[in-house]
Amino acid sequence: MKILIDADDAATGLKKVIVEHLKDKGIQVEDLDYLGRTPGAAYPEVAYNLAKKVQAGKLDRAILICGTGLGMAMMANKVEGVFAGVCHDVYSAERLRASNNAQVLTMGARVVGEEVAKTIVDAWLKAEFQGGRSAPKVESMRKLEKESFNK
């Protein structure tokens, strides 16, 4: 499994914690470090950069972290084919993947502490899309997304 990760200036500390947590679990993680390459960039650019890589389909999943996780999710969802959701609890993280087949988890460094963030990431990574009753709903989201992006 390969995970992409990035964060804005409000969340670089939590990003480092999550990167180390993933590496300790033997998970391949690539820190895009958009801020390091583009000083002064804000969360929209950070999220867009990562979401475009998700759109290209060259990874398993991705994580974005900002102050609340909200702006990152909003921006990532502006890229066609990308499903992102903000999670601040374990159950939501599990359902984000299991029910909604989202590739991108977003979190807020000002909302969750380091240990909670690790459990959220673990739950999301462990979960797999279950299909079943959720499959037609996800397919409907994809269809409506195409309609919206291709007008």
Q: Which range of residues forms the domain containing residue 59?
A: 2-149
Q: Looking at residue 146, what is its pLDDT?
A: 84
Domain count, the chain: 1
Q: Looking at residue 140, what is its pLDDT?
A: 76
Report the distance separating Cα 137 and Cα 20, nearest Å: 35
Give φ, ψ of 106 to 5 degrees.
-120, 150
CATH of the domain at 39: 3.40.1400.10
Reply yes or no on whether 66 is catalytic: yes
What are 31-85's pLDDT values in tens digits? 999 999 999 999 999 999 999 999 999 788 999 999 999 999 999 999 999 999 9
What are 109-138's pLDDT values in tens digits? 999 999 999 999 999 999 988 778 877 787
What are 131-151's pLDDT values in tens digits? 788 777 878 778 878 888 886
DSSP secondary structure letters along 5-45 = EEE-TTSHHHHHHHHHHHHHTT-EEEE--HHHHSTT--HHH
Catalytic pick among 47, 66, 102, 125: 66
